Structure 1
Amino acid sequence: MNKTQIIKSLIPGALLSYEKYNILPSLTIAQAILETGWLQYIKGNNIFGIKWTNGCGYEVQELSTHEWINGVKTPMMCKFRKYDSLADSILDHGKLLSFTRYKSVITSKDYKEACQNVYNSGYCTDSEYPKKLISIIEQNKLYIYDAPRSEIAKNTTSKDIKHLQQCLNLMKIRATNNTTLFIDGFIGPLTVSAIKKLQDILNLSMYGIFGPEILSAVESIMERPLCSLKSNGYKTAIRYIQWRTGSSIDGIYGNETARLVKAYQQNNKLVADGIVGKNTWDRLLS
């Protein structure tokens, strides 16, 4: 896997850990990358180098490692936990950081503070650990997954959230793990990832935040306006159509969009007239 694929493989687990333990996804992903050299070095599915302790509930494996002692990198043999899967390792990492010892990590205001606090709390003995984590986060823009949970759903109700989740499913806007959303009225990390994807498509601000702007945009699409070369408005709906048909996304219904709409219609056994009317909308949102 390349770096993009590695990050993508870690995102679902990191978001679940965020939802369950409130550990910033950027920290989880960066630690996984740093601890394993971009997943090159993993023994027993232990991504984070978590040590084995009596009663931890996991099998033990003894591995050679290095610890920094009085500023000197010292080789030694240590006991580490062995997991059934990488997903188990990610969740156990979140559970570990939820302990009182790491309280400052959970309450950190941003990824920089979290990286420093995870070191201060004794997670690692390498004094350069925070800088290395921050570098990985910033070089790969992992901070985009850290939407403040208290800010995610301003002035919205559970009914609003359920409606949004239903619409995102109909629009084929999938969560980061490429699955449909649960209609539960809760703004968790997976719903946030789908919101971010739609905001990218529609070029909306308030990244990852669910508020009136995203609701209005979704409604303008669900109204299924007639769109064609003669359309002067409906930019939001046109951007969505362009995304679904593989056209360049600019909100302008030009010749390229008309051509690709015709191709979409032909592939779906619809009248290929290049006009997005009722039947084409029904197919797009089925």
Structure 2
Amino acid sequence: MWRKLLMTRIEDVRGSLQVHPTKKYVEEKELNPQFITLHHSGTETGHAQTFANYHVSKMDWPGIGYHFVVLRNGTIQWCHDLRVRCYHTSGRNTRNIGVCMVGEGLFTKRQRNALKNLVYALSIHYQLSSSKILGHREHPSQKTLCPAMNLDQFRKEIDSLLFHSLTQLTPSTAIPKTVRKGARGQDVMNLQNALALKGYSLHRFGADGIFGAETERAVKKFQRDHHLKMDGIVGPKTWEKIIS
């Protein structure tokens, strides 16, 4: 799970925030996010509880409009299950994870580091490239300057983290053991992350460490594209291509 990649304090506030007495958010049938969208609160202070109160009482929404809120001290507040289609980007909320930074531009170092860690963890787990990390203002038809940050620079920082993850598997290290459908563990998770970084995404289950049918299909596609025996088994020759 993405939480295993977090090195930042996370506070699970799901179920404790104000919600509308009758309205409810729609939940996605499958957990396969397409975007991570970054926001700022536009306030000097605040937290999930105050934003939830505002969104419900003033905006008449079903609940808080973000999946995560990143506080000034670097704490991440987890507000919704990621299946919830909450209202953070008009017309673009389907399969879209919303993350709000408290503030408006002058974010703290702890806050930025927490945001990077969260977005990296979600990107790895849900097989999202940095091109799928957008600011609120970058979505079509959004009349806003949110978030007040250099998004191109942020994506470069995420790319650097993702590249570092891939280089943990290098030709100078021992070739990992052969894995195939039914295998579980860190080698499988490394395989899944490496496939994602090479463009072979696992949209449904992500990097869950379980070699199932989705991973097997991605492996076969990789093998086909690299003129390898298309058997779905990741042995020495397939590993060598993946980590090269």
Q: Do both share a fold (TM > 0.5)?
A: no
Larger helix percent: 1
Instruction: Name the structure, 1 or 2, with higher relative contact order (CA <8 Å, separation 6+).
Output: 2
TM-score (norm 1): 0.32
TM-score (norm 2): 0.36
